[in-house]
Amino acid sequence: MISDEFVPFDQLSSGPPTIFIVFFALIATTVVAVFAFTIVKGVAQWRSNQAAPLRSTEALVVSRRTDVTRRSHEGASSSSSTSYFVTFEEPSGERRELRVSGPDYGLFAEGDRGHLMHQGTRYKGFTRQGAVSDGR
């Protein structure tokens, strides 16, 4: 016969273990913190660009690069997007990499010299004045 003292499920031991709750809370907090940091960083960059003066300088195109991001969706479908970047060198030797549109990217060649316009990290335009020979 079973006595009243035998309790198969104690009230204190029911529910998920404490370590699971702590681990879940830690992961959730980390995800929210990373999301918030990304938003704050993006807004700060936008505000910095808005406050920056429109700058115009002579520049040399020293390199070009692309960054392809692939995303998988449920099932077999996937998509990708490409970001385009051009690195400019100013007469002072300072280099700056700016994101440009695909059509603008196609017009650049390493060695192009011209007049660069930018506002902070925003590319505003480039007027080509010629190419530099291998000796620069």
| Band of pLDDT at residue 2, cut at 50, 70 and 90 | low
> In the predicted model, what is the mean pLDDT of residues 94-118?
95
Task: State residue 18's pLDDT score.
Answer: 85
Residue type, 87: T
3-state helix, strand, coil in the chain (%, to 5): 30, 40, 30
Do the Cβ atoms of 101 and 84 come closer than 8 Å? yes
pLDDT in tens, 22-57: 999 999 999 999 999 999 999 999 998 899 999 999
Which is it for strands 112-119 and 54-72: parallel, antiparallel or unpaired?
antiparallel
Higher pLDDT, 134 or 113: 113
Nearest residue to 114 via CA among 86, 84, 82: 86
> In the predicted model, what is the mean pLDDT of residues 98-114?
94
pLDDT in tens, 121-132: 999 999 998 666
Task: State residue 15's pLDDT score.
Answer: 74
pLDDT in tens, 56-91: 999 999 999 999 999 887 777 888 999 999 999 999
Residue 12 has pLDDT above 60, yes or no: no
**Token pair of 62 as six digits:** 């020293």
Nearest residue to 109 via CA among 64, 79, 69: 64
Count Cα neighbours of 19 within 13 Å in the Cβ-side half-sphere: 0
Q: pTM of the predicted model, to two decimals? A: 0.69
